[in-house]
Structure 1
Amino acid sequence: MQIVSDPEIIEAESNSTIADFMESHDADYFNEVILPKEESHWVAWFSGGIDADELVLSDEDSAFEIVWWPAGGTYEPEQWQPEA
């Protein structure tokens, strides 16, 4: 899960919409507009249930992580697992 605060970033980065987005915008737009927006609108991302080393599903605590990325600054990883 990725958390952003700008709908255009969602459209440009989502697997289900990136093809249409890139078809209606050129690479310059992506580089000049979207990438700078990501610095201030990409908030966090959560990865969970996948062992990053083995690339397999896992219930181990180490397989769950949320990364806070405040305004493109230094990101801060945190082990986190939602309660089932």
Structure 2
Amino acid sequence: MHELFETGDIAKVMLEELAEKLWAYMQNNLITKDEASMEIESLEKEIETLKRLESPLTQEERISYVPVEIAVRELKKTYENLS
């Protein structure tokens, strides 16, 4: 694993920030749907970047991404249901 950071920790923080923004959008219209879409895209790119930085991934490292990827899919579903 990369010495400068723990991938899972960074991804969790990013997910929390995105979830807060989406929640704010849903509850108070504080961000636009386009902004929420950009946040989701940004998060997906960051996860892919982190995976490349750690490449080649061990089985354990690949498994560590599963919860993050599931959470991103759930956020995308939430976003799609905002319409």
TMscore range, shorter length: 0.3 to 0.5
Larger of the two Rg values belongs to structure: 1
TM-score (norm 2): 0.33
Larger helix percent? 2
TM-score (norm 1): 0.33
Higher relative contact order (CA 8 A, sep 6+): 2
